[in-house]
Amino acid sequence: MYLISLGAGVLAGVLYGLINVRSPAPPAIALIGLLGMLIGEQIVPMAKRVIDGEPLTVSWFASECKPKITGVQARDVAAAEQTDSGSRKS
């Protein structure tokens, strides 16, 4: 999906270049700022978890924070572990 999105963006850029139109897309610095906002939003749930005395685990981060930052839904942790353990036995 990311490659398709990138490809569509490159195609749009080529078309804009061919017809001599400036792209309406924000500069890269603005996009980096947006990424920072997505990451920064996850500091609040992490802080709440620490204040409540709960551990910050990789599985919690992968299921709660990572999907909100990347936009990709997390796999079911139990299903992933089951698949991994099944492939090791083979």
Using one digit for the tens of pLDDT, what is the confidence trace for 22-71?
A: 877 778 888 888 888 888 999 999 999 999 999 999 988 888 888 888 88
Asked if residue 1 is part of any domain, the answer here is: no
Does residue 70 form part of some domain? yes
Instruction: State the Cα–Cα distance between residues 60 and 50, nearest whole angstrom.
Output: 12
Query: Which position has the token pair 């942790």?
Result: 77
pTM of the model: 0.52
Q: What is the structure's pLDDT at 68?
A: 85
Report the amino acid identity of residue 18: L
Domain count, the chain: 1
CA–CA distance from 5 to each of 2, 10, 28, 44 (Å)?
Answer: 5, 9, 16, 30
> For residue 85, what pLDDT is reported?
56
Q: How many C-beta neighbours within 10 Å does residue 65 have?
A: 19
Domain that holds residue 68: 42-89
Instruction: Answer whether residue 12 shows pLDDT above 80.
Output: yes
Domain assignment of residue 9, yes or no: no
| Distance in angstroms (rounded) separating the CA atoms of residues 47 and 68 | 16
pLDDT of residue 82: 59
Residue 16 falls within a domain, yes or no? no
